[in-house]
Amino acid sequence: MTQQTSVEIGPEQCGAYKPVALYFLESDCVEYVKEDALCIHERVDSFLTLIFDETKINLIGFKLKGFKCVFDKIKPLYELNDMQFVDLVPVIELVFTQLGNNVFAIGDEERKLAYKAAIKLAANDNVRLYGGAMQMAA
């Protein structure tokens, strides 16, 4: 007969939550969530998903899909290599600029506001993705 032991792990054993932008190789996306809380995802378009808290009022994160393609486009602009960090604000701004003509042409105010909110969150929280994290995921 096998005896099972139950071990409870509380927050004091796990340490404090530290927000960090993570790259997921399998799904080619970057996700940043600044709080360890229940999250509600709201898809904006094929690139951006906003992440809200349980009230759906406070923006606490975002997900950027197809990130490798965008990263490859900005690497020469900023003379980056895979071992350097990437400030995610220019990435969001680059996509926003590329999509901008379409967004403004069709008057998609909601989409425009979503990108501005993600840019503001990334800038305020100084969100960065480190090349080492991308390589560890590989």
Name which of 78, 82, 57 is nearest 138 in CA terms: 82
Give the pLDDT means over successive 10-residue stretches in the chain (138 positions): 49 74 90 94 93 96 89 78 78 78 67 89 89 45
State the pLDDT at residue 33.
95
**Integer angstrom CA distances of residue 65 from 8, 23, 49, 132:** 36, 10, 8, 19
